Structure 1
Amino acid sequence: MTAPKPFREHLAAHLTLGLPLIGSHMAQMAIGMTDTIMLGWYDVEALAALVLANTFHMVLFLFGSGFAFAVMPLVSAAAEQGDDTRVRRVTRMGLWISAGFALAVLPLLWFSAPLMKLMGQEATLAEGAQTYLRIMGWGIIPALAVMVLKSYLSALERARVQLLVVIAAAVANAGINYLLIFGNFGAPELGIRGAALASLAVQVISVLVLALYAVNRFPAHRLFHRIWRPDWEALREVAAMGWHVGLTVLAEVGLFSFSAILVGLLGTVPLAAHGIALQIASISFMVPLGMSNAATVRAGRAFGRGDAPALRQGALAAFSLGLGWAALAVVLFLSVPALLVGAFLDPAEPLRDEILAVGRGLLLMAALFQLADATQVIAVSLLRGMQDTRVPMMIAASSYWLIGAPAAWVFGIALGLGAQGVWLGLVLGLAAAAAMLGTRFWRSSGALTTA
């Protein structure tokens, strides 16, 4: 039996894997912000249509990404056991089911305008969003394949290549946007269609680069050898776990979307402050999110070799890093809230002072949920590494929709506490999830120790 590693080695391992993943998440956010800024410069109506299209697309994309996330712990455990055949089987079926999901939802993207109108969106915006989605919607096929390959490479602890590819994609996206949105250097001026073509091109290029890297770096896996042949056992395994993970992600995303609807009932100023505060909190969240991805991989490897002490020590490292960052974010949010919110506002904006006042209060709430959010995302990722996804799905759904959503309505609307009350509901939902998921992980890993 090998001696347990010192705690500092677990910290170093999580940082080595987690930092490139954090950078990758940040670069991915930069792509979305670039689209928003460039279309905002081009035309405000086109920007509004883009926001609507991305909101519609993101729900489907995040749900479909559950199958890619399921690949990560399965490949981690198989790689630790030296089972190249199983690595190939689950990754290939991850690609299969992701492609199947993409094709199944493609009609929803193609005929999105009628659906958006049914949800009360203005006809002009709905048609503009559909124009974007009829081009970019095809990108959900390579985009989900990218997610599968990123999970595969993360599980094999090859995160740096992902960072380089996403950075290159962000630069390429900005360049193609500059050409096709505005019609520069002789290119056609396509507006929102240009942004859609840029996104589609970047997704196609990204999946090709990652696939070529995977084939050349890991030839023993024979990843695409006879890829057309079904493997029903592996397909069912990935589908079952991916379904649980997808619903878990959807439950949290749905809670935040619900909070936006509630704040929208309160007026323009609270909604603007909500959007800004959420953007700031989302940027901060990329750090614990990257660490949680590393936690899934490290937990998957420890679980694959049955090393319970390493699993728990690695978990302590992941929680230490994630919560350490969250504590720094709390200090920042409490120290300079006006500076952070003000960075998103034009100094000449007539409503600036009102938005700043609401935004400061929301960042106080954001400071509270930084710790809860970091805890729950790391705990659910550790459980995912142990291939435990069904109960965490139920915990997430009940925490967010039986506690968080009702509390947001009660405090924000019924009791009249406004946007801060809505965010207090978010804090309670996230805290409940953090407590229950954390408890389940420590109990499960303890049972593994005594087994």
Structure 2
Amino acid sequence: MKLLKSWYGILILALPSLFAFATQTLTGTVNLILVGDLGFVVIAVVGVSNIIMYNVFAIFSGIGHSVNYLVAQNFGAKEMGKGMQRMYLALLVSVGVGVVIALAGWLASGAVLNLTGGSDNLVETGGGYLELRFYAMSFGIISFVFHGFFRGVGDTRTSMIVSIVANVLMVALTYGLTYGHWGLPDLGIIGAGYALLIGEAVQLAICLAVFWGPMHKRYQTRKLQKPDWRELKLISRESGKLGLQEFSMSVSMYIFTIFVLTLGEMATAANEVALSVMSFGFMPAFAFGSTATILVGQEIGQGRPRLAKMAGTNTAILGTIFLICLGTAELIWAVPIAKLYSDDPGVYELAAHLIQVSAYLQIFDGFYNFYAGGLRGIGDTTFLMRSSFVLSLFLFVPLTYLFVTVFDWGSIGAWLALYSFLVALGLAVMIRYYRTDFNEVRMKEAHG
């Protein structure tokens, strides 16, 4: 009975996060399908831009991740005054970062796209679209801090609602602005970029309204706390470590994309389709990983290490069940799923093969996310940074080069390298989790 009660509590937190991530994933999928009629070069542009934006997000995502676990610990310890202090300092940092991202988009979008090594046609087609993606990310990185706070206090439902509203708007605007429906201008791929920019701006506005509106009564969100610059140092340090963790993985994915680009635009399009489909596997992985951070962090804040460790384990079990079910569906229906994106046989046949290869291997990506979420909850950010950095740059990148260039295994070789990396990383993080003595874990505090 206790186990069922625990699983119910996990699902109450995880399912809204799952729906939120599902909405984001579905938005990316539908948008890719919508622009797919513009040709495989446009599919490749969107795919390359997604990887670039993943890198930009990864560099600064540590701000939201650190707020998530720090606020979860403060919430569990009933120290929300300190939690609000940390939240406002993180917002200050994220606004500065947003300005830097917007400037980068304005000044260097074309140069960044050139660095991918894509064809002149790809660069010419995608320059303006990528610039708009940079502007959208400048809003998105600030919104991510708000989502980190919402989840930290266990309010995953609010995070879900905000995500659904923003992403439905993005899909509708992509349809309207890409092809000129509903009286909107026909802007092609540039219209898809504007759709994401407007959606991200609206999402940030909703986050602000919720944070300063309904949440004020419970958490005094409009009351500015006296800044403690030691806390700013803590947030910067933790954000840096978590950002480097994500960035090392995203850089390796960027290099992975460069290798795939050498195989031609059709292979790049098939790769993007497969990544889009497999992102449905990332969805429960992220959702249950985020839930592990919340539950473990809150239990640590309440001084209950045994329950904290058990919460992480139960979350991982439920998340794995979700991934097994999803992998089975992807294995059986890989071809019809791939055909939703493109009617080009060269694209959908290769994409379907990549999907089938990945169907059950994605469980190891789940292990990484579940147990990394638990380690974030106890503040073990140094290990996450080091393991991600070492395995990304010294295993994943060399294997991709070896399998794609030396052995000439094409797209299949690239994906075998990807999942060799994810298996190693997932196992490393899981072993670290169970070898950690939770009785020795303490809440993360700022020091001079």
Q: Please report the TM-score for the alignment, with normalisation by the length of structure 2.
A: 0.88
Mean Cα displacement is larger for which, 44-53 or 136-145?
44-53
Q: CA deviation at 1:362?
A: 2.7
Aligned to 1:93: 89
Verify the 8 A CA contact 2:118 2:261 in the aligned structure 1: no
Q: How does 1:130-169 map to 2 (within 5 A)?
A: 130-169=127-166
Q: CA deviation at 1:436?
A: 1.6
Verify the 8 A CA contact 1:25 1:286 in the aligned structure 2: yes
Verify the 8 A CA contact 1:92 1:223 in the aligned structure 2: no
Matched, 1:393 2:377: no
Q: CA deviation at 1:250?
A: 1.9
Q: Does the C-alpha gap of structure 1 residues 122 and 411 become closer, same or farther in structure 2, counting only changes over 3 Å?
A: closer
- Structure 2 CA distance for aligned equivalents of residues 131 and 270 of structure 1: 23
Question: What whole-Å deviation, never above 9, does each CA across 1:74-120 have from its counterpart, x for those lacking one?
Answer: 00000111112111111111111111122223222112113333544
| 2:213 match: secondary structure | helix
2:102 to 103, 106, 127: 106
2:55 to 45, 59, 80: 59
Q: CA deviation at 1:47?
A: 5.8
Aligned to 2:24: 28
Mean Cα displacement is larger for which, 276-285 or 45-54?
45-54
Structure 2 letter corresponding to 1:288: A
Q: How does 1:143-292 map to 2 (within 5 A)?
A: 143-219=140-216, 220-226=218-224, 230-267=227-264, 270-292=267-289
Verify the 8 A CA contact 1:90 1:235 in the aligned structure 2: yes
- Structure 2 CA distance for aligned equivalents of residues 404 and 134 of structure 1: 29
- Structure 2 CA distance for aligned equivalents of residues 415 and 194 of structure 1: 41
1:424 to 416, 419, 426: 416
Q: Does the C-alpha gap of structure 1 residues 42 and 326 become closer, same or farther in structure 2, counting only changes over 3 Å?
A: closer
- Structure 1 CA distance for aligned equivalents of residues 106 and 209 of structure 2: 30
Question: What whole-Å deviation, never above 9, does each CA across 1:224-248 have from its counterpart, x for those lacking one?
Answer: 4348x75422221111111111111
Structure 1 letter corresponding to 2:161: L
Q: Does the C-alpha gap of structure 1 residues 361 and 8 become closer, same or farther in structure 2, counting only changes over 3 Å?
A: same
Verify the 8 A CA contact 2:44 2:269 in the aligned structure 1: no
Q: CA deviation at 1:147?
A: 0.6
- Structure 1 CA distance for aligned equivalents of residues 94 and 396 of structure 2: 30
Q: CA deviation at 1:169?
A: 1.7
Q: CA deviation at 1:66?
A: 1.6
2:363 to 366, 371, 388: 371
Specify every segment of 5 or more residues in structure 2 that has no aligned partner in the other structure, as ranges: 443-448
Mean Cα displacement is larger for which, 20-29 or 41-50?
41-50
Aligned to 2:402: 410
Q: Does the C-alpha gap of structure 1 residues 371 and 211 become closer, same or farther in structure 2, counting only changes over 3 Å?
A: same
RMSD over aligned CA atoms reads: 2.8
Verify the 8 A CA contact 1:53 1:133 in the aligned structure 2: yes
Question: What whole-Å deviation, never above 9, does each CA across 1:27-52 have from its counterpart, x for those lacking one?
Answer: 11233334434444467766655544
Matched residue pairs, number? 440
Mean Cα displacement is larger for which, 137-146 or 234-243?
137-146
Verify the 8 A CA contact 1:269 1:351 in the aligned structure 2: yes
Q: CA deviation at 1:60?
A: 0.8
Mean Cα displacement is larger for which, 118-127 or 298-307?
118-127
Structure 2 letter corresponding to 1:400: S
1:116 to 103, 107, 113: 113
Q: Does the C-alpha gap of structure 1 residues 230 and 109 become closer, same or farther in structure 2, counting only changes over 3 Å?
A: farther
Mean Cα displacement is larger for which, 311-320 or 436-445?
436-445
Q: Does the C-alpha gap of structure 1 residues 95 and 129 become closer, same or farther in structure 2, counting only changes over 3 Å?
A: farther
Q: Does the C-alpha gap of structure 1 residues 126 and 231 become closer, same or farther in structure 2, counting only changes over 3 Å?
A: farther
- Structure 2 CA distance for aligned equivalents of residues 146 and 81 of structure 1: 25
- Structure 2 CA distance for aligned equivalents of residues 276 and 190 of structure 1: 23
Verify the 8 A CA contact 1:72 1:154 in the aligned structure 2: yes
Q: CA deviation at 1:387?
A: 1.0
Q: Please report the TM-score for the alignment, with normalisation by the length of structure 1.
A: 0.87
Structure 2 letter corresponding to 1:281: M
Verify the 8 A CA contact 1:74 1:300 in the aligned structure 2: yes
Q: CA deviation at 1:306?
A: 2.1
Aligned to 2:316: 319
Identity within the alignment, %: 21
